[in-house]
Structure 1
Amino acid sequence: MGISQKDVGSRPLRILHVVGGMDRGGLETWLMHVLRTIDRTRFTMDFLVHAAQPCAYDEEIRALGSRVIYGGDHHSLWGYKKRFDEVLALHGPYDVVHSHVAYFSGRVLRLAAGQGVRVRIAHSHSDRAAREAKFGIKRRLYVQLMQRMIRRFATAGLAASEPAAASLFGANWASERSVEVVHCGLDFSPYAEPIERAQGREQVREQVRAELGIAPDALLIGHVGRFEAPKNHAHLLEVARSLRRREPRAWLLMVGDGALRADTERRASEVGLDQVVFAGVREDVPRLLRAMDVFVFPSIFEGLGLALVEAQAAGLPCVISQSIPQEADVVPELVCRMGLEQQAGLWAEAVLQMAARPRPSARQAHRVVANSSFCIAQSVENLVRIYGR
């Protein structure tokens, strides 16, 4: 059941998003695009986070009039309940609790129901099926319990893709009227600016490469994502090594940060991969993408892969793993899918082929992506409908 104008009167509809932390990941970046775009005179969005340390987007969230609220230790059964109730008593009432914390959403939405929150949303952003299959019985029992709680306490279920829907809501999710796939949208206007004129695009490319110490004529492959196991940076390094043997001008640019960054840097050094740049967390991802020749995305699993959609908006050819949902192929002519069981040398050959193959212009690619279900206007429109106002 949604919230009507009569329910809230003249005040804005109040939404509490529950997330791990507001760092620069795909989910978090989408939420920031929503916050920047949604009519903040009609909707207010606060963020209950599980991360005790400050995160990249916290300052901007507060500057836009929203709160970042620490939710306490979610591993403590009663401690988390006490803190959740305190947050709703202190900062509420909330009309919507929108939970983005995978299976733990079952716990969150049960607590929200106990506080009388009418709209309770469980949102799946990842396909965890293969990963969960490797865990033991204790984890499987936890997942089953949380899924039962989600079915009982969620008034709506959302997913970033069909595989993500099946992962959280079960194989028969499509038969559930309350569950739907809603693509996370972004504002793709930054990708339109330099393609208004070809000269401007080349200038950006040259500037970025000069800043990073990369030769203008290098074959630059790139990746954007957190340094976490599912992103498969180890395979990316092997692809870069194989590519270097075939093309001495090859460079690798990796954008992002995370727990495995130091290990990845160490491994690159150990194997003698010196033509590599670790750019860290950046706010100018559109600029960096324009400097690349090919985007490589070898994820072990993804809910969708918004970075891949951004790469297509930039007009980049993309070599990606088969595990990424088909829905992410917004401009199919730009995408080459490879199996993770295939050797790095085959991936390197695919990179060379995609770099040389005729493809849509950057202008054409941007137009297709900007008019797709991944545009931020469509995303916000869907949320407004689901919130019920």
Structure 2
Amino acid sequence: EIEQAGFEVIVLGYKRQMWKSVSALSHIMRERQIDIVHASSYHPSLYARLAAIIARVPVILGYEHVIYNNKRMPRVIFNRLLAPFTDGFTAVGEQVANQVLEWNQYPREKMHVVHNGVDISRYQPAKLRIDAKEKLGFDPQKIIVGVVSRLDPEKGHRFLFDAIVKLSPKYDVQWIVVGTGRGADKVYQEARDRGIEKKVEFLGLRRDVPELLAAFDIYVFPTLQEGFPNSLLEAMASGCAVVASDFPGNLEVAIDQRNALIVPMRDSKRLTQCIEQLLQQPELAKHLGEQARHDIVENFSLQAYAGKMSGLYEQLCEKKGVVRE
């Protein structure tokens, strides 16, 4: 998919072979006269920043996108050692940035928060949601309540399942879960434990997520672990009425009673109440969805993201005296 989008992909083939990877990367950087290295995640960032130092790349950046539950001291030590040679760090959200600054003790002036963006031309409300449902083979007369996320217990599917136990006898709703992941078996078991596995449509990995979200009426996002939630951005851009947990990353985009309904994490009862409120009050659901779309277009578009990131690159290149004709 990356290649199809027009980008070159180079496969080194050295899985967790640190110095071979660093050597190969530094060779590529020197050969191609790379000006900026922006490296994500721990191992890729470690290897890439070491290679960039060896290759004398002018601008070196780290990219932070996850809030961790446990501090791993070897990683913290390596990050602190590389910090003086790193020109800056980007974080996808304020909460991610705060954790990184606290754990790794980076200088605050090196940290830049650049929220993720969403393609608002690809993710947008359907002109008629009923048509979007029909095109995908769903019953156009039923309300669709669903979630799109990695199948993992930390995403909180079990709290949605608790709500389904309470609401499915009362409302004729299509309950849909989209996604796959290493925790899929556990999530499936959570559904079986509640006896609702036949009430939920597990659609697995899908490439038509924009079309699916355009058919959703209500999007439920009870996550317990998130950096900054791309799937939430996509649902809001699609005009879904959102019920989301109060995990800090969610609160940087979802505002209770403005563009979403926010519930405490792990609170199945409150989650159930908010879903039922939207089922009973379609005008409220419509308002929240429209406001969500408006807020994403104004603040979290890909254009906004690209503008902020390119501005940072230009600022750092100017600071380091990088000039390319």
Identical columns (%): 23
Rounded Cα–Cα distance in structure 1 between residues aligned with 2:101 and 2:306: 23
1:381 alignment partner in structure 2:
307
2:39 alignment partner in structure 1:
99
1:257 alignment partner in structure 2:
180
Residues 127-179 of structure 1: per-residue CA shift (max 9 Å, x gap): 22xx115xxxxx3x213213303422221111111011122232798962221
Indicate if the aligned counterparts of 1:312 and 1:330 stay in contact, CA closer than 8 A.
no
Rounded Cα–Cα distance in structure 1 between residues aligned with 2:151 and 2:119: 24
Indicate if the aligned counterparts of 2:14 and 2:21 stay in contact, CA closer than 8 A.
yes
1:333 alignment partner in structure 2:
258
- The alpha-carbon distance between structure 1 residues 331 and 193, as it changes in their structure 2 partners (threshold 3 A), is same
- Name the SS of the counterpart of 1:360 in structure 2: helix
1:66 alignment partner in structure 2:
7
Query: How many angstroms does 1:308 deviate by?
Result: 1.0
- The alpha-carbon distance between structure 1 residues 322 and 382, as it changes in their structure 2 partners (threshold 3 A), is same
2:321 alignment partner in structure 1:
none
Indicate if the aligned counterparts of 1:221 and 1:295 stay in contact, CA closer than 8 A.
yes
Query: How many angstroms does 1:316 deviate by?
Result: 1.7
- The alpha-carbon distance between structure 1 residues 123 and 323, as it changes in their structure 2 partners (threshold 3 A), is same
Written as runs of structure 1 = structure 2, the 5 A alignment for 1:115-130 is 115-128=55-68
Rounded Cα–Cα distance in structure 1 between residues aligned with 2:297 and 2:255: 10
Written as runs of structure 1 = structure 2, the 5 A alignment for 1:36-55 is none
Residue type at the aligned position of 1:276: V
Q: CA RMSD in A?
A: 2.8
* Total equivalences in the alignment: 310
1:78 alignment partner in structure 2:
19
Stretch moving more, 110-119 or 163-172: 163-172
Rounded Cα–Cα distance in structure 2 between residues aligned with 1:251 and 1:79: 51
- The alpha-carbon distance between structure 1 residues 114 and 331, as it changes in their structure 2 partners (threshold 3 A), is farther
Is 1:238 equivalent to 2:162 in the alignment? yes
Rounded Cα–Cα distance in structure 2 between residues aligned with 1:355 and 1:123: 40
Rounded Cα–Cα distance in structure 2 between residues aligned with 1:346 and 1:74: 45
Written as runs of structure 1 = structure 2, the 5 A alignment for 1:111-150 is 111-128=51-68, 131-132=69-70, 139=72, 141-150=73-82
Any stretches of 5+ residues in structure 2 without a counterpart? 318-325
Query: How many angstroms does 1:221 deviate by?
Result: 1.6
Indicate if the aligned counterparts of 1:97 and 1:119 stay in contact, CA closer than 8 A.
yes
Indicate if the aligned counterparts of 1:338 and 1:347 stay in contact, CA closer than 8 A.
yes
Pick one of 296, 300, 309 that aligns with 1:369. 296
Rounded Cα–Cα distance in structure 2 between residues aligned with 1:84 and 1:182: 26
Rounded Cα–Cα distance in structure 2 between residues aligned with 1:379 and 1:173: 26
Rounded Cα–Cα distance in structure 2 between residues aligned with 1:337 and 1:364: 15
- The alpha-carbon distance between structure 1 residues 351 and 150, as it changes in their structure 2 partners (threshold 3 A), is farther
Residues 335-384 of structure 1: per-residue CA shift (max 9 Å, x gap): 12222242x23321221113334242755542332121x11111111121
Indicate if the aligned counterparts of 1:105 and 1:146 stay in contact, CA closer than 8 A.
no
Any stretches of 5+ residues in structure 1 without a counterpart? 1-56, 134-138
- The alpha-carbon distance between structure 1 residues 66 and 249, as it changes in their structure 2 partners (threshold 3 A), is same
Residues 199-220 of structure 1: per-residue CA shift (max 9 Å, x gap): x333113333xx2xx4434342
Q: TM-score, normalised by structure 1?
A: 0.71
- Name the SS of the counterpart of 2:109 in structure 1: coil
Residues 221-276 of structure 1: per-residue CA shift (max 9 Å, x gap): 2111112343233333333223324x342332112221122442344345332121
Pick one of 58, 80, 89 that aligns with 1:157. 89
1:6 alignment partner in structure 2:
none
Indicate if the aligned counterparts of 1:107 and 1:146 stay in contact, CA closer than 8 A.
no
